Structure 1
Amino acid sequence: MYLNYRAILVLLLFSLFGCKEKKKQMLDTEKVEVSDFIEFFPDLKLPYQLADTGLLRKSPDSLRIGNRIFSQFVPDSVLRPVFGKTGKPRLFPLGKSVVKDGETYLFIKAEQGARRAGYILVFNEEKFVTSMPAVQVNGTPKPNDHSVANFDSKYTITTLRQKTAGDGQVTYSKKVYVYNTAGVFTLILTESNDQETATKKIINPIDTLSSTHKLAGDYLQGARNIVSFRNGKSSGSLYFFIHFEKDGGDCRGELKGEARLTGANSARFTEGNGPCVIDFTFSGNTVRMKEVEGCGSYRDIKCFFEGSYTRKKKTTSSGRKKK
């Protein structure tokens, strides 16, 4: 009889322990509090590294966070720059790190189609404060081009991108961020050995196309920022090329495509297999560019396709000399 009592006691203890450890599921049909949401993320041991290849690993459906649950605690604007206004990526927790008497960092994976991103979310006193996409992937990472984000024991975030050329030379671009008391991520260091990229001439791939349309031409903003337009394949479209460099070259973007004319002085680019949407508004000798939906695959994290550009005067030939 004594043994039976001991067995029953052990079973009760295991049962109580199991109930205590079981986390609430993040299904959209469940009622979830912010404390449940944060607790759903497993604890991380720092330093923590997230690589682009790591985003390709399949996550169990049992760990999926419902989109309604996510938007209950995190603004929709967090996902929009990468997945667009209507994007509904699948969300999975990667881990969390809690600062004693301070903020909580949540690492989450978002995926939709071939597009994936690893985000860092910051909560303070169980309230969302800010976020940043640390690593992005569109398709399968190339063998010679890899990105990784490191989160160290001092809560410093380092993003690193390495490219290997055909001759074996490795170039890199590193950026270091910290979260500050103002509630934002601050870029504190940039470092790169890619001197060729910093100094090479910008090649306009549509430069030789016809430019008879009234809106066609090269619109500039400084020496290394250009929005170029040429005749499209139909009268209702324009080919375009964009290249910009901001913050002393630390934030770059480049995109080529075809924009549909939406009015006498306006055009819109809509990516065929992604969320990227850009509006162009022409007025006199200027064009204003605005990123409407997420074009994060074509630019760095902290900059956007936006701003006003002034049209460069077309050069005219002198014609034949009179006899």
Structure 2
Amino acid sequence: MKRFLLLLLAIGVLAACKSKKKAGSGNEPMTFEDFQALFTPGNLPYRLTPDTLQLKLADSLRLDTAALRFLTDTLPKGDFTKNEGVKFYPLQRISGSVVDYVVVKAAGRSQSVGYLCFLDKKGKYLNRIRGASTGSADGTVTSLQIDSKNVVKISSETKLSGSRSALKEDFYMVNPDGTVTLIMTNSNGPTNAGQIFNPIDTLPRKHKFSGDYTSGEMNIVSIRDGDDAKTFQFFITFSKDNGNCKGELSGKGHYIAGNRGEYKDKESSCGISFQFSAGRVSIREIGGCGAYRGIKCFFEGGFVKKAEKKKKK
């Protein structure tokens, strides 16, 4: 009887030891589920900025060779020299409507780069794009944003003379095979950093509150007529702290009691309150809109309505 009990005890110890083996260690290869578990799960909208890439991560979080085999061995190609000793870190994994996304940080001596990798619904690697960076040779920094409709925006900013900067925004649609299609490009041009591209500029502005409200060269709240008298289209863009903190948001709001308006994002907690008065509008956040702005600034402040240019007869 004692021998039988000892045998059962030995089997139990062996089973416990086996269950405590680290995934991917020894003779047990890393599974795709193990690989996924390395990334923080997230939802859309998603934003990755140079400031986020500059944050130091613990070496214990680094992706090893076993993890990188689920991606590609040419991940950092074209961005780093052979002798930089690039380290890779897992940032985020997000389920998309067409493909799934994993975001990987590559840290070298010259810069840090955030890669947006596309995987099919079965976990097969398809492609990657360079989403964000802390600075290339010409001083250009880039940031990445994916909205709730899975549209990918890559923003590139190059410092010019003085406090001026040139901004270029490329919008992409992701295809099921991992390729991307360029939908639209916005650019203020390399010689005129004071120009703002307004995507709703040509829409009707017959409502008494419709028009463009500004606060300095690079800050605008644009209001246009909605589908009816109770709704409005808006576009907000701002640049604060000498261009170090920016925000951009567009959508459809609705008018409420008095001279007030409100917008609430259906896909996130972001909300904006609009207070209209004679020739002015004041805005403030009524929800977290961090996916659409820098972490050190907010959608807030007062803006003065610009006089509309009269059309020549």
Q: Return the TM-score normalized by structure 1.
A: 0.47
More helix by share: 1
Q: Return the TM-score normalized by structure 2.
A: 0.48
Higher relative contact order (CA 8 A, sep 6+): 1
